[in-house]
Amino acid sequence: MIPYGKQTIDEADILAVIETLKSDWLTQGPKVIEFEKKLAEYCGVKYAVVVNNGTAALHLAYFVAGLKSDDEIILSPLTFAATANAALWQGAKPVFVDVNPKTGNIDPKLIEEKITNKTRVITPVDYTGRPADLDTIKAIAEKYNLIVVEDACQAFGASYKNKKVGSISDLTVFSFHPVKTITTGEGGAVLTDNENYYKKMKMFVTHGMTKQNFVNESEGEWYMEMQMLGMNYRLTDIQCTLGLSQLKKADYFVRSRRIIAEFYNDVFKDFKNIFLPTPDSFVEQSSWHLYVIRLAEKLVNSRAEIFKKLRAKGIGVQVHHLPVYYHPYYQDLKYRKGICPVAENFYDKAISLPIYPSLSKDEQQFVIKQILDIVH
Ligand SMILES: *Cc1c(COP(=O)(O)O)cnc(C)c1O
């Protein structure tokens, strides 16, 4: 099966990890510090805090943004459930806003009407790796004194107006799961320019404990103080070593993905049975985490059949994403189908095709041939 996405691990990655396994530090050693520094540099931002996965990164970002019980958070439903779940863990209420039919990203024109005096956070999701309309969203957030927590789990290496994603919103969240741009096995990070957020996050990821700036008098050399209720969200040195090695190849990974996307876009451009993803523009350059085609309206009812045929041919197509509120858990919270019709229609037509750096030209040709044969 050709999967829709997968990691690219080379000999240098493996050797680097072996070195760390032989070292004194398996976790909380020099590699964590180095990976955080290099991530921040890569994105052009002051601080990065690495954590054990993207979901923990979302939770951490919502926590420092001050999202709490009975607050509301605005986000689009066309995302992985974790974007909303992490807000539920803070006791907040997800308020879903519909998407732009071209990109699948939150439609900024629909945000203001959903803002109430309970709204605290706006979370644009960079769907498929394409940056959301970040400046417009930032302006809305400033007008209403809200915090932007960007879910860029799919968008590591993407750019917006010549700036790397990670350097634009108040807090930006990444995932380093194997299907994402770079991987640490499991892993994630939160990036910010805000020193207060940074200090709070560093404390949170290690139980809210600190070895400096004590509230009480130190009891001795061993003394550590817990100053807030935190978690163990730490990423290991083993994983950070892999991350550091992967980071060197991030631009190459994104470029390889872009070349595949441009090839698909070019081959399919006259094929009337599908809509193609928006190509890169001067303003936004996607990381091309996903290549999502959408079926023409007349084929909507055949999607399951088309999907099955493609899988039978050995193409590991996938659908991203089930609108979050379709999940039974959210239905129990009284979210109803129909609240975001554009996202729902987007979902009905979507199929993710294989895209990842090591996808060979032959495999791309094979995927294309099957699409042309099967989709009508
Ligand atoms: C992958 C992903 C996550 C979750 O990241 P994990 O590292 O798997 O926890 C959250 N949001 C989006 C949009 C994602 O693509």
- pLDDT at 362 exceeding the cut of 90: yes
Q: CB 216: neighbour CB atoms within 10 A?
A: 8
* 204 and 321 housed in the same domain: no
Backbone angles phi, psi at 300, to 5 degrees: -55, -45
- pLDDT at 376 exceeding the cut of 90: no
* 242 and 267 housed in the same domain: no
- pLDDT at 285 exceeding the cut of 90: yes
Q: Is 47 in the pocket of ligand 1 (CB under 6 A)?
A: no
What is the 217 CA–ligand 1 centroid distance (Å)? Answer: 41
Beta strand 163-164 with 159-160 is antiparallel
- State the total domains in the chain: 2
Percentage of the residues of the chain whose pLDDT score is greater than 90: 100
Furthest C-alpha separation in the chain: 74
pLDDT at 19: 98
* Mean pLDDT, the chain, whole residue set: 97
pLDDT at 198: 98
Over the Cα atoms of the chain, what is R_g?
A: 21
Give residue 185's pLDDT band: very low, low, confident or very high (50, 70, 90).
Answer: very high
Helix 237-247 to helix 11-21 angle (10° resolution) is 150
Q: What is the pTM of this model?
A: 0.98
Q: CB 15: neighbour CB atoms within 10 A?
A: 11
Q: Report the phi/psi class of residue 91: left, alpha or beta, with left for phi > 0 and alpha for psi in -120 to 50.
A: left
**Last residue of a domain, which of 249, 272, 287?**
249
* 240 and 150 housed in the same domain: yes
pLDDT at 180: 98
C-alpha closest to that of 340 among 31, 164, 63, 111? 111
To which H or E segment does residue 375 belong?
none
Q: Is 167 in the pocket of ligand 1 (CB under 6 A)?
A: no
pLDDT at 21: 98
C-alpha closest to that of 325 among 96, 156, 155, 59? 96
- pLDDT at 236 exceeding the cut of 90: yes
Helix 54-64 to helix 195-204 angle (10° resolution) is 130
* 349 and 237 housed in the same domain: no
What is the 211 CA–ligand 1 centroid distance (Å)? Answer: 31
Q: pLDDT per residue over 201-235, tens digit each?
A: 999 999 999 999 999 999 999 999 999 999 999 99
Residue 196, exposed/middle/buried by CB under 10 A (0-12, 13-18, 19+)? exposed
Name the token pair of 375.
């989709």
CATH number (domain holding residue 317): 3.90.1150.10
* 29 and 86 housed in the same domain: yes
Residues 6+ apart with CB under 8 A from 308: none
* 167 and 91 housed in the same domain: yes
Percentage of the residues of the chain whose pLDDT score is greater than 70: 100
Closest residue by Cα to atom 7, ligand 1, is: 54
Contact by Cβ (8 Å): 60, 190? yes
* 239 and 255 housed in the same domain: no
What is the 158 CA–ligand 1 centroid distance (Å)? Answer: 16
**Ligand 1 atom closest to residue 180's alpha carbon, by position in its atom list:** 1
Domain extent, residue 134, equals 2-249
Q: What is the mean pLDDT of residues 235-244?
A: 98
Q: What is the mean pLDDT of residues 347-357?
A: 98
d(CA 71, CA 300): 37
* 245 and 257 housed in the same domain: no
Give residue 194's pLDDT band: very low, low, confident or very high (50, 70, 90).
Answer: very high
Q: pLDDT per residue over 307-319, tens digit each?
A: 999 999 999 999 9
Q: What is the mean pLDDT of residues 266-294?
A: 97
CATH number (domain holding residue 92): 3.40.640.10
**Last residue of a domain, which of 227, 249, 271?**
249
**Last residue of a domain, which of 194, 223, 249?**
249
What is the 299 CA–ligand 1 centroid distance (Å)? Answer: 29
* 243 and 261 housed in the same domain: no
* 178 and 62 housed in the same domain: yes
What is the 27 CA–ligand 1 centroid distance (Å)? Answer: 23
Q: Which of 310-347 are b and which e, b meaning 16 or more Cβ less than 10 Å from the residue's Cβ? A: beebebebbbbbebbbeeeebeeeebeeeebebbbbbb
Name the token pair of 221.
């050399």
**Ligand 1 atom closest to residue 127's alpha carbon, by position in its atom list:** 13
Q: Is 175 in the pocket of ligand 1 (CB under 6 A)?
A: yes
* 256 and 242 housed in the same domain: no
How many Å from the N-terminal Cα to the C-terminal Cα in the chain? Answer: 23
What is the 259 CA–ligand 1 centroid distance (Å)? Answer: 24
* 59 and 130 housed in the same domain: yes
Q: How far is CA 275 from CA 79, 235, 369, in A?
A: 20, 40, 17
Contact by Cβ (8 Å): 373, 25? no
Q: Which residue has the higher pLDDT, 14 or 376?
A: 14
